[in-house]
A and B are shown apart, each in its own frame.
Chain A
Amino acid sequence: GAVVSQHPSRVICKSGTSVKIECRSLDFQATTMFWYRQFPKQSLMLMATSNEGSKATYEQGVEKDKFLINHASLTLSTLTVTSAHPEDSSFYICSARDLGKAGGGSYNEQFFGPGTRLTVL
């Protein structure tokens, strides 16, 4: 199956520091990756769409200078939370899309990582 990993799974940092989260597609190449943020008891909110070799597309209200996204290869996208503050504490989830990956009775071509819990003190 299609597997997406994230690293780290949990991170605690001090306010003002930067944190990098990695998202990897382990057994397929993903031309497009997505970053979501999820606050407690809320839904996943799309932050940005990351396309390999080009700039990310950010959703309205998401600061691109604060949430830096790099999609340098077909299997890796990174999200860097710069100058993190306590309000950035959240569950960050990535997903990767592999066109043509659908199968096994599903049309699904987008696969989610396990998430990264960020706590900013």
Chain B
Amino acid sequence: GESVGLHLPTLSVQEGDNSIINCAYSNSASDYFIWYKQESGKGPQFIIDIRSNMDKRQGQRVTVLLNKTVKHLSLQIAATQPGDSAVYFCAEMAHDMRFGAGTRLTVKP
């Protein structure tokens, strides 16, 4: 069936560096994509989203890039901080929301 997956299960970065988390999706019918941050024992926290008619969207310290040609989504975090340490999930929306496998981001001080 259709699936959403991630290339990197873990990512460790130095505080202040930029982080890039990648996601591959396979449902060509998906028209909306979201990145979530999840801290231990908590529900997903919305970070940023993008519609399929866009290829880039920027928020505060975060940027989402969408490449529909290769069905790839990425989340860029600028000047990564210790508080950014968490698991990050991409999700795609067709008629319901499906999640990717997740990447654990660890920020070293």
- Which A residues are within 8 Å of any B CB, using their own CB? 6, 34, 36, 42-46, 49, 91, 93, 95, 105-108, 110-115, 117
Contacts and interface: CB of A to CB of B under 8 A. Distances in A.
A95 B34 contact: no
Interface in B31-80: 32, 34, 36, 41-46, 48-49, 51, 59
Contacts of B49: 106-108
B42 A115 contact: yes
A34 B91 CA distance: 14
B7 to A, nearest CB: 14
A43 B101 contact: yes
Given A36-B99, A107-B32, 20 more contacts: A34-B96, A42-B102, A43-B89, A43-B101, A43-B102, A44-B44, A44-B89, A45-B99, A46-B96, A49-B96, A91-B41, A93-B43, A106-B46, A107-B49, A108-B46, A110-B97, A112-B36, A112-B45, A114-B42, A115-B41
Secondary structure class of chain B's binding surface, majority of residues:
strand
Nearest to A43: B99
10 contacts: A42-B102, A44-B89, A44-B99, A46-B98, A91-B41, A108-B34, A108-B46, A111-B46, A112-B36, A113-B43
Chain B: interface size category = 20 to 34
Contacts of A43: 89, 99-102
Interface centre among A44, A46, A91, A105 (most CB of B within 10 A): A44
Interface in B80-105: 89, 93, 96-102
Contacts of B102: 42-43
